A and B are shown apart, each in its own frame.
Chain A
């Protein structure tokens, strides 16, 4: 039997085990997200994929699709919440878009445009600077980390290394590295790891190259995040 739900009025087919996010992306419908990446264990921390399922607010990436249900995503109230969530992430970290190597291919920046966040809304937390440049090929700026745990999942589940994990509680939560002295250079991390290529923002960056692709010609400069990410999702299916 074919199963489906409606997403903002459109019928979305799904198969057993699909989450709302899986089904939506497969059907070519974009639901904003930051901590989700197809193929990785669903996480549900950024909360951007908030949707209403039969009137109940849930995260689309973790919620199994329900046959015959009504899902709303692109509503004014949900979009407002998404915009505020992105604004919170901008306030929490230090995001220096104009000079960031990731500018133009950063999901946080692209999603901010998508939800219409063009100016800061909250007082900046301004955490003290924390940088790890000990690795020969990669650098980590902890203040750009949005705690999405994609690198944690990639290193653990794909690379089989468990280089990254989260430490602490509340606003003190931070990314930590598994090595004797806690430094990246001392860990098993390699530039060829899946975890080296997964960071949605400019927290984990390659060394020795800068601005190879000029700003203006980058992924989200060329097309907005909904189109760009749906396109690459289709490609990976083929």
Chain B
């Protein structure tokens, strides 16, 4: 069980001095707005109007812009929430494990409507996008702490605890149990990382040599785009600038993915060392970890690792006693927005704004955080980089395929016996992965989340690697009892909910798709509706500004192509 939470809710009488002390602690920096809002939200269960006006006054920002930021992020509220804020994870995997009935159940027990505080202000029950616990489904967050493997008994217990006003810190720890669930280890997970080993190697052999090792290792970004990591670091190092930043993308918003959460929780040292390594190689002085709000409960653990590493000389001034080797890391929290995983939206969010992707070019590598060259890498990328620095590129290259070197962590969830983390060399087939996790009677898998690929049974010999089927974090399994239409409907809702709203095709298109898919799900879609879906998909793919819009139509389009039988008008069915 983790540390204290704030219970009961504080009175808003002291909100002005509270805001003032926060503002002072960040040197009145307007770009820290989001961090301030997160703290205020945690203290009061919402951002009181008085706090908004005070922030506006202290930071020199229009109050409307602050309200606009609050309205952008799912975990910031302009009105009071319950003392207990319970957010059920609403991934398709949670639904398949019965979350909807449990939510209903808990709401009835507590006498509360969805997403509305109970009249006495004690509790709110709402849903949120996947919280990164698909191997512990159904799951929920209470005041930021994950409640795992929920079932009717646990729901009863939770209702009792709420009714008896037991502070979350005193809830039984088994409700919060998170297991590592590692079911297969390869190069990366079979040994424990020796803290400092990668940095020692750097000082022994030099930055150039380490970049060469990274190049040999063929390491490509684990966050989705698969860009060569060595090249990214080199480009940042070679850009002329007085300041540079290293940003660790710990937003992990992809439904069904939890490999980053696993690494943050169990491998913080290797991860932090990877960020530090990148800082020293590129000449950056500051690193930032953008931690999604759903993983707030890991912040303290990460802070402790950072502190320990400072005392061990692995972080801060003169790392490993090398003059001028200065690098430190700060943690920033997100506030509930999938789009903030996109690197330029993430940077906007780090700067305290609504997470709207930027025009690219310029890319973060030349103009990133605060306009300075910034490397953005996924959690797993930094983790692997540390190992490669220690063991060498050839070591990693003993696994995988030509284009997809080494191994990869898969987050496996859904219909299988052993959901969890699997480390496999790239290039294995879907069937091999299904066998490894004990999946039977499988109808389909979704590789790399809603923005990835739907693969039906006839294609289970496809290989997970860049040459064939690029594999991100998440691998969700659906057996023959599942309705693909439910899955497609869920994904379409997800994108409509997560579009940032900046550009026309995605803002409007995701809603149009959601409504048409809903119609298809009810068997009422006509041929004309399907033609419209084709057109909307084409418009979104070709004219959207960022990757979200480019991929948001994939679930419905792939399902229509691969399982056309599902999409006949009911009137036309025999």
Contacts and interface: CB of A to CB of B under 8 A. Distances in A.
A40 interface: no
B505 A85 contact: yes
A173 B515 contact: no
A176 B500 contact: no
Contact of A171 (B53, B73, B359, B510): B510
B71 A172 contact: yes
B68 A84 contact: no
B504 A46 contact: yes
Given A44-B359, A176-B67, A122 B502 contact: no
B507 A173 contact: yes
B72 interface: yes
Interface string A90-122: 011000000000000000000000000000011
Given A44-B359, A167-B71, A170-B499, A182 B64 contact: yes
Interface in B327-363: 337, 339, 354, 359, 361
Interface in B529-561: 532, 535-536, 538-539, 542-545
A180 interface: yes
Interface string A53-70: 000010100101000000
Contacts of A153: none
In the A-B complex, the 8 residue pairs with the smallest Cβ-Cβ separation, listed nearest first, are: A167-B68, A173-B501, A178-B62, A178-B64, A88-B508, A168-B71, A170-B501, A170-B499
Q: Which of B68, B505, B532, B543 has the most CB of A within 10 A?
A: B543
A123 B498 contact: no
Interface in A169-212: 169-173, 176-180, 182
Given A46-B504, A168-B68, A57 B542 contact: yes
22 contacts: A47-B504, A81-B538, A81-B542, A84-B535, A84-B536, A84-B539, A85-B504, A85-B543, A121-B532, A122-B532, A123-B512, A123-B515, A125-B511, A165-B64, A166-B68, A168-B68, A170-B496, A170-B497, A170-B499, A176-B68, A178-B65, A179-B64
B505 A47 contact: yes
A83 B241 CA distance: 43
A32 interface: no
A45 interface: yes
Contacts of A62: 359
B72 A89 contact: no
Nearest to B529: A123
Contacts of B354: 166, 169
B283 interface: no
A167 B508 CA distance: 16
A50 B542 contact: yes
Interface of B, helix, strand, loop or mixed by DSSP: helix
Contacts of A172: 71, 501
A170 B543 contact: no
B63 interface: yes
A172 to B, nearest CB: 7
A169 B337 contact: yes
Contacts of A45: 502-504, 545
Interface in A109-168: 121-123, 125, 146-147, 162, 164-168
Given A62-B359, A91-B512, A169-B501, A81 B71 contact: no
Q: Which of B501, B505, B510, B544 has the most CB of A within 10 A?
A: B501
A136 to B, nearest CB: 20
A114 to B, nearest CB: 16
Interface of A: 42, 44-48, 50, 57, 59, 62, 64, 77, 80-81, 84-85, 88-89, 91-92, 121-123, 125, 146-147, 162, 164-173, 176-180, 182
A177 B508 CA distance: 23
Interface in B181-197: none
Contacts of B504: 45-48, 85, 88-89, 146
Contacts of A88: 504-505, 508-509, 512, 539
A64 B361 contact: yes
B345 to A, nearest CB: 11
Nearest to A182: B64
B72 A167 contact: yes
Contacts of B359: 42, 44, 59, 62
A46 B539 CA distance: 12
Nearest to A179: B64
Contacts of B544: 47
Contacts of A57: 542-543
Contacts of A170: 496-501, 507, 510-511
Nearest to A121: B532
A159 B508 CA distance: 31
Contact of A47 (B62, B510, B545): B545
Nearest to B56: A178
A42 to B, nearest CB: 7
A129 to B, nearest CB: 19
A163 to B, nearest CB: 8
A106 B539 CA distance: 24
B346 to A, nearest CB: 15
Contact of B539 (A81, A92, A182): A81
A176 B63 CA distance: 10
Q: Which of B65, B72, B359, B504 has the most CB of A within 10 A?
A: B504
A85 B65 contact: no
Interface string B49-72: 000010000000011110110011
A178 B63 contact: yes
B62 A162 contact: yes
Given A44-B545, A171-B511, 7 more contacts: A47-B545, A81-B539, A92-B507, A165-B68, A168-B71, A176-B67, A176-B68
B54 to A, nearest CB: 13
Nearest to B70: A167
A190 to B, nearest CB: 16
B499 A171 contact: yes
Contacts of A89: 504, 508
Contacts of B64: 164-165, 167, 176-179, 182
A233 B72 CA distance: 36
A146 B498 CA distance: 19
B62 A165 contact: yes
Contacts of A164: 64
Nearest to A176: B64
Interface in B123-141: none
Interface in B214-237: none
Contacts of B339: 169
Contacts of A50: 542-543
Q: Which of A62, A89, A173 has the most CB of B within 10 A?
A: A173
A91 B508 contact: yes
B502 to A, nearest CB: 5
Q: Which of B53, B500, B508 has the most CB of A within 10 A?
A: B508
A171 B72 contact: no
Contacts of B499: 169-171
A161 to B, nearest CB: 9
